[in-house]
Chain A
Amino acid sequence: MHAALEAIQSSALSLWLTSSGSSVAANSKQVLETLHFIGFALQIGAIMALSLRLVGLGRGVSIDALARPVFSIAWLAFAVVAATGALQFVPIATEVFYRPSFRAKLAVLLVALATLVWLQASARRGAVAWDAAASVPRTVKLVAALSLLLWPTVIVVARLMYAFVQMAGR
């Protein structure tokens, strides 16, 4: 595993990301962070809006009409977040991989993604019926509440991980 991490960190891509040859490479960290921020704001913000609707806010809003664009935005934006996250991982692979904060972030992220997938599958089957009945099943509300808790936790753990990496001199 460590050999793979070292290969990633010494790859041509990694060298380019940390070089200052071109202005794109020299500013790559700032550009990647900015895209990462915009991506997670759109992704998590959209999911938060839907989750709040599911737990009972804004009852006049059709869940079916809201859910479709929310899941499209969430997955598109998550693709940007994952790609820019992976590129930020490359130059610091060997040191960040072993950090408990990095593993905690991935663990919380995976559970949060599981709630997203579950909510999407449930909404696909049931949103029209929930709108018609003007009520949401208790299990869905519970998972939406979990989603409201988990996604902000991903942000907090990510920021703490950033603090640890910075302290290590990166």
Chain B
Amino acid sequence: MSFWQEPAYAAFWLDVARGDLATWIQLTPYAYAAIESVHLVGVAFFFGPLFLLDLRLLGVLPRLLAGPAGRLLLRISIPAFALLTSSGALLFVPSADRYASSQVFFAKLAAMALGGVNALVLHLAAWRRIHAWGSSAGAPPAARLTAAVSILVWLSVIALGRALGYERRDPPPSDLDEILIFEPALAADD
């Protein structure tokens, strides 16, 4: 039995999924869609600039100075990542019980962790010596490798994120029936 199938662990996430925040997100009209909009805007601001930087590191955009371009693009991507994690956390809450036992969700987290380690490798292996190579067209082999990994990893993260919406859903626990019975009445009040 995997650790996320432990009853205590599952019960905790079920509490989160039924908590005040989850209820507010689910019952406020358009709250979920609005948070997801913010998340999607974050995806564009995160991935677009990062892709440009990766292309530069791969040597495709030789006229772009790696140092200043890297600073500009990361000044966009890093705040966008903060936006993605905070909006992502809010999207997680109403489905906490489902996501906490989802293999797709774990795969997405694992891919994100790999992306983080990859960025750290780039920083330690090549970025600290940017003054030595930043004004030439190419980039050190380590930087090229991390750029290729970065593109593959973040494309996978987007694909896994979309796959979350298509994962087969197990039927809810029987004691959820109460909540489900009340739902039409709440909807009818609008």
Chain A residues proximal to chain B, CB less than 8 Å: 27, 30, 33-34, 37-38, 40-49, 52-53, 57-58, 60-62, 64-66, 68-70, 73, 151-152, 155-156, 159-160, 162-163
Q: How far is the CA of A66 from the CA of B73 in the complex (A)?
A: 11
- Give 16 A-B contacts (CB < 8 Å), ordered by A residue: A34-B158, A37-B40, A43-B48, A45-B46, A46-B48, A46-B51, A49-B73, A49-B76, A60-B71, A61-B64, A62-B63, A73-B51, A152-B41, A152-B44, A155-B40, A162-B33
Q: Is the CB of A49 within 8 A of B49?
A: yes
A109 to chain B, nearest CB (A): 14
Give the nearest-CB partner of B35 in chain A.
A159
A52 to chain B, nearest CB (A): 6
Give 13 new A-B contacts, CB below 8 A, not counting A30-B165, A58-B72, A60-B68: A30-B166, A34-B158, A41-B47, A44-B48, A46-B48, A58-B71, A58-B75, A62-B64, A70-B52, A152-B41, A155-B37, A155-B40, A159-B40
- For residue B50, which residues in chain A have a CB less than 8 angstroms away from its CB? 45
Indicate which residue in A34, A40, A48, A69 contacts B159 across the interface (CB closer than 8 Å). A34
Q: Is the CB of B44 within 8 A of A41?
A: yes
Q: How far is the CA of A34 from the CA of B104 in the complex (A)?
A: 15
How many residues of chain B get a CB closer than 8 Å to chain A's CBs? 39
Q: Is the CB of A61 within 8 A of B69?
A: yes
Q: How far is the CA of A108 from the CA of B52 in the complex (A)?
A: 25
Q: How far is the CA of A60 from the CA of B135 in the complex (A)?
A: 12
Q: For chain B residues 38-63, which have a beta carbon within 8 Å of chain A?
A: 40-41, 43-52, 55, 60-61, 63
Q: Is the CB of B45 within 8 A of A48?
A: yes
Bitwise, B57-93 to A at CB < 8 A (1) or not (0) is 0001101110111011101100000000000000000
Give the nearest-CB partner of A77 in chain B.
B48
**B163 CB within 8 Å of chain A:** yes
- For residue A155, which residues in chain B have a CB less than 8 angstroms away from its CB? 37, 40-41, 44
**B162 CB within 8 Å of chain A:** yes
Q: Is the CB of A58 within 8 A of B36?
A: no
- For residue A162, which residues in chain B have a CB less than 8 angstroms away from its CB? 33
Q: Is the CB of A41 within 8 A of B43?
A: yes
Main DSSP-derived SS at the A contact region: helix
Chain B residues proximal to chain A, CB less than 8 Å: 30, 33-34, 36-37, 40-41, 43-52, 55, 60-61, 63-65, 67-69, 71-73, 75-76, 155, 158-159, 161-163, 165-166
Indicate which residue in B46, B65, B161, B165 contacts A62 across the interface (CB closer than 8 Å). B65
Give the nearest-CB partner of A64 in chain B.
B63
B135 to chain A, nearest CB (A): 11
Which 4 residue pairs across A and B have the least CB separation, nearest first? A45-B48, A58-B72, A60-B68, A65-B63
Q: Is the CB of B44 within 8 A of A69?
A: no
Q: How far is the CA of A61 from the CA of B44 in the complex (A)?
A: 21
Q: How far is the CA of A162 from the CA of B33 in the complex (A)?
A: 9
- For residue B75, which residues in chain A have a CB less than 8 angstroms away from its CB? 57-58
- For residue A152, which residues in chain B have a CB less than 8 angstroms away from its CB? 41, 44
Q: How far is the CA of A43 from the CA of B40 in the complex (A)?
A: 13
A160 to chain B, nearest CB (A): 6
Q: How far is the CA of A48 from the CA of B68 in the complex (A)?
A: 17
A41-B43, A45-B49, A46-B52 known; A30 vs B163 contact (CB < 8 Å): yes
Q: How far is the CA of A151 from the CA of B158 in the complex (A)?
A: 19
Q: Is the CB of A151 within 8 A of B68?
A: no
